[in-house]
Amino acid sequence: MCDTCEFTSGPPPNALGKYLLVPLTAGGFLYAGMQLIFTAQRLTEERGQMMTFVQGFALFGVGLFVWYSGMGAANPKQRRQRILKYRRAWEDEQAGVAAPDTTSLLGENLEAVVVAIILALIIRHFVMEAFVIPTGSMAPTLLGDHFDLECERCKHPFPIAKREYELTQGETETHATATCPVCDYTFERDLTRADMRSGHKILVNKFIYRFRPPRRYEVVVFKFPNTPWRNYIKRLVGLPGETITVRNGDVFANGERARKPDHVIDSIWIPVHDAAWRRTGGEPRWDVVAEDLRPAWQFGKDGAEDLDGAWMRCDPAQAKLPAGQETAWVGYQHRKMHAAYAYNREDSARGPITGDLRVRARVTPEAGAVVRLGILETTRLYDEENNSQRDEERLVAARFEAGQGEATYAIEANGEVVAQVKGPALTPGLPHELTLAYADDRARLQLDGETLLAWDDPFGPVEQTYDVQVRLGAAKAPAVFEQLRIDRDVYYVPSRSNAQYDPSIQAIEIPQRSYFVMGDNSPNSEDGRSWGFVREGHMIGRAFLVFWPPTPEHLRLIR
């Protein structure tokens, strides 16, 4: 303490206090406060929710106070400012000038904490708010409380839903049946709290809809129409005044297909096959589509067994190709392309067949090779008058050329070019990432992560898809295919409860100033199909960021 001006300053904390004790103590209070705030968002009873919010903000305030107090004492700049403040007050006192009372360190920190909390409340109310995802209705885009598993056969990690009653009454473990989304292997596991993970924590932009209306396929947070004090999160699929239907898993608005923007589709692809996760048994996933093509294909490098497409080589010159055909094809075999949701555990039925797929491969071509990635979709049509049926097949393929100089990249439908573009040819002997994405009847050809060509298919099937096969092949010169991967788009299935507003069953007319929403995990989502529409005034904001857990596979923008 100064004998002249009576300035008092405690000793600055040592390195242990500054870098360990203060951050740990403050972090503990902040974390506990945030957990209580997120817990309050899950509660349905209004009084209990308010009390939990108050407790959470109180702990959060204590954490801020500890941080300001501890780190402020260690901050030379703040210490100099306090010394200068006391000096000016002492000089004013000596000169007989009235001066405001100097504030103690406790008062200064308390003032800073109060201001910080007020600013946080203002930001939370008007600008941005954090929410916790309690359920899996938006999986796999957003995960609720879940368990992390690893497939016993291919070792692929994936989440499954935690049921509300599991591990809540003091139990130490629960039993689950799960099916791997990549290799389709079903197994049983005993799960403990160590396997359990809480739902995603997200940030919501609360002011954006003050400047523009919500847009189709945005992920929105809104007040639940039946109990407005509860918040829900879904994907917006229908706009005011529209008539929407769902056919073959896709949304139609006023009779026209409502295609998802490319950036939305690219954020929600669901894995179906990945050769990086290799099985230890079972049928091979890739095989020739005709026996005459078998001499052209080698499955597995250096004689090693390859069941999943980790390495395949095609030499089309060795195939016995029929007249008019230049490509030696292989197809994805022994597994149907079901719109299954592994997240839902054994509750999830296999689901319908889907043709909205993305196929990717790392391809090393030789000079002159023409490489194709294709999706063959079969639709079964019924003739009620003649009591007969017939199948229609349609192959949409992306064509890539290897060589020197310029090449023609093309999208083909049943062998006919429907879109093409010129560009540098694939470099012979070097690997390239080739992609064909086909969803919402929109095909995209991508090379090394860049979209070179897109085509909106006006003739895509609207009836139920009967079968789908992913194909790939080469013509004119050899090519090596590695790291085969297949993903699928979200598929909107009919509601389990024969809901009143289900667009899969009937056309739904959306009132003015209202919106229609559905969950990405449509087999397990209570959404607009059950309770109708979200009024404009109930919209809270647009979800835009998953910030917790802060790991690479979870931390991301929400599309």
Give exposure, 18-44, as e/b (b: 16+ Cβ within 10 Å): beeebbebbeebbebbbebbbbbbebe
Which residues pair with residue 426 across a beta bridge?
402
Supply the pLDDT for residue 74. Answer: 47
Statement: 201-266+494-557 belongs to CATH 2.10.109.10: yes
Give the chain's largest Cα–Cα span.
Answer: 109
Supply the pLDDT for residue 464. Answer: 81
Supply the pLDDT for residue 123. Answer: 54
Q: Which two tokens mark 396?
A: 């949409």
Q: Calculate ∠ Cα 237-459-323, nearest 5°.
A: 140
Supply the pLDDT for residue 349. Answer: 53
Q: Which two tokens mark 398?
A: 């992306």
Question: What class, spelled out in words, does domain 270-488 have in CATH?
Answer: mainly beta
Q: What is the pLDDT along the chain (559 residues), one digit of tens a residue?
A: 555 555 555 555 555 555 577 777 777 777 777 677 666 666 666 667 677 767 776 777 777 667 666 665 445 555 555 556 656 665 666 666 554 544 455 555 555 556 556 655 555 555 568 888 988 999 999 999 999 999 999 999 999 999 888 887 778 889 999 999 998 889 999 999 889 888 999 989 998 999 999 999 999 999 999 888 889 999 999 999 999 999 999 999 999 999 999 999 999 999 999 999 988 778 889 999 999 999 999 999 887 878 898 999 999 999 988 888 899 999 998 888 988 899 998 655 578 899 999 999 999 999 999 999 999 999 888 777 777 788 889 999 999 999 999 999 999 999 999 999 999 999 999 999 999 999 999 999 999 999 999 999 987 766 788 899 999 999 999 999 999 999 999 999 988 776 789 999 999 999 999 999 999 999 899 999 999 999 999 999 999 999 888 888 888 999 8
Supply the pLDDT for residue 302. Answer: 81
State how far the Cα of 216 lies from the Cα of 224, in Å rounded to an integer: 19
Supply the pLDDT for residue 102. Answer: 47
Supply the pLDDT for residue 94. Answer: 62
DSSP per residue, 117-174 = HHHHHHHHHHTEEEEE--SSTTTTTS--SEEEEE-TTT--EEEEEPPTTTT-SS-SEE
Domain ranges of the chain: 15-126, 146-197, 201-266+494-557, 270-488
Q: Is-above-0.85 flag for pTM?
A: no
Supply the pLDDT for residue 305. Answer: 79
Supply the pLDDT for residue 386. Answer: 76
Give exposure, 346-364, as e/b (b: 16+ Cβ within 10 Å): eebeebbbbbbbbbbbbbb
State how far the Cα of 472 lies from the Cα of 479, in Å rounded to an integer: 11
